[in-house]
Structure 1
Amino acid sequence: MSISVIGANKRYGEFAALDDVSIDIPEGSLTSLLGPSGSGKSTLLRAIAGLDRLDSGTVKINGRDVSSASPQQRDIGFVFQHYAAFKHLTVRENIAFGLKIRKRPKDEIKKKVDELLDIVGLTVFQKRYPAQLSGGQRQRMALARALAVDPQVLLLDEPFGALDAKVREDLRKWLRKLHDEVNVTTVLVTHDQQEALDVSDRIAVLNKGRIEQVGAPDDLYDRPDNVFVASFLGSVSRLNGELVRPHDIRLGRTPEMVFPGPDSTLDTGVVKASVERVVNLGFETRVELKAATTGEEFVAQITRGDQNALNLQAGESIFARATKVPQLSND
């Protein structure tokens, strides 16, 4: 089912949580609402769900105006960061709960729950209680429970926010695979840029109650509308006055080593800089630098192979040049 939000406004006293927000979410897509705290992303999700009533504006699901409809009338599944599972029910009973209160036939419930247990990989844990599951397993149970009633739309509000980094990474991959299998229109609220880039078909970047830009992850990363989108959707540095991605900065021990090459889309000029700090981060290395003439600090991201070849050390002088800059559409 497609979702359309038109001219949405929501205020809490003097604070504008949503300021004339409009967005179209295509049927079957996985769209992330990405932004910092207070940007309006959760308020927008709750307005789609019917949990928050807009001051003005319209919410449509598959062309039907649901602005005045209750959450129950919208056929929406929810998963939140802190999911309130029934502690006294097993995994199987939790997933079946929504079907039972809708008085579905027993054989239909069994078939549906068996199918979902298999999809989310919890068949062997179906007799366990929530307290006997890991955090990742509880969130998979929560997604299965939300999907059990065949919702038109699945809304996820920071579902992995309370989990550690490795579990979040695993669940991101799992969520994308699950979405491709069930193909339900999904809206994910997150403040995690990597999460949005990893799982989304489309990303809407919000800031101060307004939508800054909507598009495919690659479009927003490579062609941001403005500095806010560029800096929020990935790391950026300033080099010779240009906004640059750290991985698009070439380093060398001589100016000739960083001269324009076949990978270059521009020549911002060679900058002499001092190495302030070198941090090895697994397969990559972050180099913190300071421009010799301006004192401007910036960061370059190079491969471990390049670092092994350069053997950069704090206190040394180095030369840097940007090979590419994001194409700001509106700035």
Structure 2
Amino acid sequence: MITVTSARKNYGSFAALDDVSLDIPSGSLTALLGPSGSGKSTLLRSIAGLESLDSGTVTIQGRDVTSEPPQRRGIGFVFQHYAAFKHMTVRDNVAFGLTIRKRPKAETARKVDELLEIVGLEGFQHRYPAQLSGGQRQRMALARALAVDPQVLLLDEPFGALDAKVRTDLRQWLRRLHDEVHVTTVLVTHDQEEALDVADRIAVLNKGRIEQVGDPVTLYERPANDFVMGFLGSVAQLGGQLVRPHDIVLERDRATALALDAKVADSPGVIDAVVERVVPLGFEVRVDLRADSGERFAAQITRRDAAELQLHEGETVHARAVARSSVVEHDPALAI
């Protein structure tokens, strides 16, 4: 268990952390999610001991480590940029932490072989970092962090420098790795899809404060406020109400739209809108729309629905929501 209590950190007049308290359960994979400047990296670095708090405490497994240096906190840290030793082979990079701790050579060799197999680099032990792809270098960095059996694994935007396909593959691999090794893991990311895909729990930060903590389904379906709803997935303004784009249905016949909309509790109503653009996005289609009020919003519909509607730019359709805004107001249990 990692417990952060009443953490504050200021840089001049800027409050990077503003009275932040957070519990991270043992064995969990928790994502710290938020926009740039929200305080997520500062919080991670404070847990690691790379930043000192102005006030507040950090405990790991019940031990107060607030004043402890990083090397005494039992953590492994992986940065966005791999920080590999370029003159060392993959094997020597992974073994580095064990070597400086003067572990027996046989133990080190056994541990390194085991980790290289776990991260899928068993055939690369004699290569140098420059001979690896970006994804392979990041897996090497994770193996190096795990080699010393840390109590906590801290990941600071570990896949941010990689292309989209490699990021997707690596986050799926990270989830499988976590399920295998069960080390308490904290991941900093600004990528909502990454957090939803990988994490057991998500803490959403904004302006140095935590807006909400919970599992991905709860945060997506029952956001504590408009910020969480807007940051954790796409939103559209429909009749002055926030809705998910995939909860918007388009109808050609207004009478049909009105009749079906009457069945939706607290509906924002049926909005007449002009199609501005139809954008195929693989398995779905985004329709950019402009309401009569001038308000712009987007709907996400299936390829089948798009084929049936045969939408064209400049024509008018009738938009309705199949679900009302799911923001839960003033629920203290959601805004921990």
Give the shorter-chain TM-score range.
over 0.9
Aligned to 2:8: 9
Q: Report the counterpart of residue 186 of structure 1 in structure 2.
A: 185
Is 1:217 the counterpart of 2:220 in the alignment? Answer: no
**Corresponding residue of 1:287:** 287
Say which SS state the counterpart of residue 260 (structure 1) adopts.
helix
1:207 is matched with 206
Cα distance in 2 for residues equivalent to 1:181 and 1:8: 32
What letter is aligned with 2:206?
N
Structure 1's 256 and 106: CA in aligned 2 closer, same or farther, altered over 3 A? Answer: farther
Cα deviation per residue 1:215-251 (whole Å; 9 max; x = unaligned)? 0111111111111111000110011111000000001
2: CA distance, partners of 1:114 / 1:263: 61
Q: Which runs of 5+ in 1 are unaligned?
A: none
Residue in structure 2 matched with residue 276 of structure 1 by the alignment: 276
Q: Determine the C-alpha separation between the residues in 2 that align with 1:290 and 1:118.
A: 54
The CA distance in 1 between the partners of 2:220 and 2:210, in whole Å, is 16
Question: d(CA) in 2 for partners of 1:35 and 1:263?
Answer: 36
For residues 171 and 226 of structure 1, the distance between their equivalents in structure 2, rounded to whole angstroms, comes to 31
1:266–1:323 Cα contact (<8 Å) kept: no
Counting only pairs closer than 5 Å after superposition, residues 120-135 of structure 1 correspond to structure 2 as 120-135=119-134
The answer to whether structure 1 residue 162 and structure 2 residue 127 are counterparts is no
Q: Displacement of 1:14 after TM fit?
A: 0.4
Q: Please name the residue that 1:254 is paired with.
A: 253
Amino acid at match of 1:272: D
Please tell me whether the aligned partners of residues 175 and 199 of structure 1 are also in contact (alpha carbons under 8 angstroms).
yes
Letter in 2 for 1:164: D
Q: 1:150 to 1:263 in 2, by over 3 A?
A: farther
Alpha-carbon distance in structure 1 between the residues aligned to 2:87 and 2:263? 60
Task: Give the whole-Å Cα distance in 2 for the aligned partners of 1:288 and 1:265.
Answer: 25
Q: Aligned AA for 2:163? A: D
Q: 1:33 to 1:263 in 2, by over 3 A?
A: farther
CA contact (8 A) 2:261 2:321 kept: no
Partner of 2:48: 49
| Secondary structure, counterpart of 2:123 in structure 1 | helix
SS of 1:203 mapped into structure 2: strand
Counterpart of 2:333? none
1:63 CA drift (Å)? 1.0
Q: Which 4+ stretches in 1 moved above 4 angstroms?
A: 261-266
Distance in 2, matches of 1:143 and 1:256, equals 58
2:191 is matched by which residue type in structure 1? D
- 1-structure distance, mates of 2:263, 2:52: 51
1:32 maps to 2:62: no
The 5 A counterparts of 1:96-115 are: 96-115=95-114
Show structure 2 runs of 5+ residues with no match: 331-336
Asked if 1:245 is matched to 2:244, the reply is yes
Distance 1:173 1:262 in 2: 42
Superposition deviation, residue 295 in structure 1: 1.6
Q: TM-score, normalised by structure 1?
A: 0.97
The answer (yes or no) to whether the contact 1:224–1:326 under 8 Å persists in 2 is no
Whether contact under 8 Å (2:284, 2:301) holds in the other structure is yes
1:155-210 CA deviation, whole Å, 9 max, x = no partner? 00000000000000000100000000000000000000000000000000000000
Shift of residue 260, structure 1, vs aligned partner: 2.7
Give secondary structure in 1 for the equivalent of 2:96: helix
CA drift of 1:330 comes to: 2.3
The whole-number CA distance in structure 2 between the counterparts of 1:263 and 1:134 is: 54
Query: What does residue 195 of structure 1 align with?
Result: 194
Aligned equivalents of 1:52, 1:263: Cα separation in 2: 53
Amino acid at match of 2:28: S
Distance 1:326 1:68 in 2: 45
- The 3 A distance-change label for structure 1 pair 310 and 48 is same
- Please give the secondary structure, in 1, of the residue aligned with 2:276: strand
TM-score (norm 2): 0.95
One-letter identity of the residue aligned with 2:91: R
Contact 2:36 2:190 in 1 (8 A): yes
CA contact (8 A) 1:276 1:290 kept: yes
**Cα separation, 1, equivalents of 2:325 and 2:94:** 45
Shift of residue 264, structure 1, vs aligned partner: 4.8
Q: 2:63 corresponds to which residue? A: 64
- Residue pairs, 1:57-96, within 5 angstroms: 57-96=56-95
Q: Determine what percentage of the aligned residue pairs are the same residue.
A: 71
The aligned counterpart of 1:231 is: 230
Instruction: Give the Å deviation of 1:276.
Output: 0.7
Letter in 1 for 2:306: Q
Amino acid in structure 2 at the alignment position of 1:7: S
The one-character-per-residue Cα deviations of 1:276-306 (angstroms, maximum 9, x if unpaired) are 11111111111000112x1211110011111
Tell me the equivalent position of 1:150: 149
Q: Secondary structure at the match of 1:125?
A: coil
Distance 1:227 1:78 in 2: 33
